Amino acid sequence: MASHRRPKQPSRARVTVLTATAAAAVALTSQAAHADPKPTKTEVKAKVDKLYEEAEQATEKFNGAKEKQEKLEREVDNLQDKVARGQDQLNEQRDALGAVAAAQYRSGGIDPSLQLFLSSDPDDFLQQAGALDQISGRQTDTLKKVQAKQRELAQQRKEAAGKLADLADTREQLGKKKSEVKAKLAEARKLLNSLTAAERAKMAEEQERANRASERAALKAAGGSTAGGSTAGGSTSTGSSANIGKGSGLAGAAFAAAQSKIGSPYVFGATGPSTYDCSGLTSWAYAQAGATIPRTSQAQANAGQRIYSQSQLQVGDLVIFYGDMHHVGLYAGNGQVLHAPRTGTVVRYEAIGNMPFQFGVRI
């Protein structure tokens, strides 16, 4: 007789495991189907270039915070020196009053007003202006000087405290900007490391070729027509008669100094003598020529006479790029600029049309 037993059903636990396994398999298949393809070398380069530009923007903010910190440190030091000198003067004035009190004591007693001054907080006593009438004219003059010195010291201490608070805030901002720059550069390095060794070598070769091409273009412009060199944007400059390296006066001396640093690596926050960022190069160059200009590109944009026409630029003029003015170089003549471009590059010539020109600045 045939058996009619029902087939054994899978346990609930087994069903759960099977279901989970199937779901995981579906998810993995879905992820594999929708996974982003590995970016190409060209895409990586574009992303890295963008990160380098953002890092340079953060670098100029870092430079500004650093400059403010250094200025505040000098101001705080000066104020603290003034307070120390003022305290010494106050002590001398109080010593003089003490001598008067000693003389009065030897002659039979101390003036009550003077005794009150010497035995309590001078501020409390000096608020009682009427008490000054009880003291001799000489003592009155001395007390008034003490009062003025105390007020001056109180103001200086208050100002120093405010500067110290600003300094603490600025140091905090400086740390944040430095971290921001480092984060951008780390992200760029991570992207570069995602490429194969061959791809990285190819990118480095292309960058070196770009450096050489820029230098050749500059040298060609220097020896070519002086009436109008072509720019990278395809337009022709129609007024510059300056050849590369032939500036004059202060600007020419600054340009000559910058020329001596061609090939020096870009390093954020650097002002020489072997590495530079963009505004570090320009401020260093003008310092070699005997002029002090601000540290950051944004501040340098307001350091002299603005020149809005490229045709009016002269060798050594500052050239400001980008809407937020985060990049600066030195005009080299014939549509070229000498600058420290960004991380991964060196001080070099480049066509002015390669970047969004804003205006020049004549120091």
pLDDT in tens, 147-203: 777 787 778 788 878 877 887 887 888 788 788 888 888 888 888 888 888 888 887
The predicted pLDDT at position 234 comes to 33
**Tokens 């636990």 belong to which residue?**
13
Per the residue annotation, which of 4, 34, 278, 326 is the catalytic one?
Answer: 278
In this prediction, residue 288 carries a pLDDT of: 97
Residue 267 has a pLDDT of: 92
Q: What's the pLDDT tens digit per position in 193-246?
A: 888 888 888 877 877 777 677 667 656 655 543 333 333 333 333 333 345 656
Looking at residue 340, what is its pLDDT? 95
Q: Is 233 helix (H, G, I), strand (E, B) or coil?
A: coil
Classified by CATH at the fold level, domain 228-362 comes out as: endopeptidase fold (from Nostoc punctiforme) (3.90.1720)
Is 278 among the residues known to form the active site? yes
Residue 92 token pair:
């001398």
326 is catalytic: no
In the numeric block, which tokens belong to residue 240? 């510059």
Our answer to whether residue 4 is catalytic in this structure is: no
- DSSP codes of every residue in 133-185: GGS-HHHHHHHHHHHHHHHHHHHHHHHHHHHHHHHHHHHHHHHHHHHHHHHHH
DSSP bridge partners of 357: 321
Residues linked to residue 305 through DSSP beta bridges, in sequence order: 362
Positions of the chain with pLDDT lower than 70, given as ranges: 1-37, 93, 96-140, 142-143, 211, 214-215, 217-246
Instruction: Domain ranges for the chain, please list them.
Output: 41-193, 228-362
pLDDT at residue 156, rounded to an integer: 78
41-193 to CATH, choices 1.10.3470, 1.10.287, 2.40.50, 1.20.1300: 1.10.287
* C-alpha closest to that of 67 among 277, 342, 233: 277
321 Ramachandran zone, left/alpha/beta (phi>0; psi -120 to 50):
beta
Amino acid letter for position 156: Q
Grouping H, G, I as helix, E, B as strand and the rest as coil, residue 271 is strand
The secondary structure element, H or E, covering residue 360 is: strand 357-362
pLDDT at 280: 96
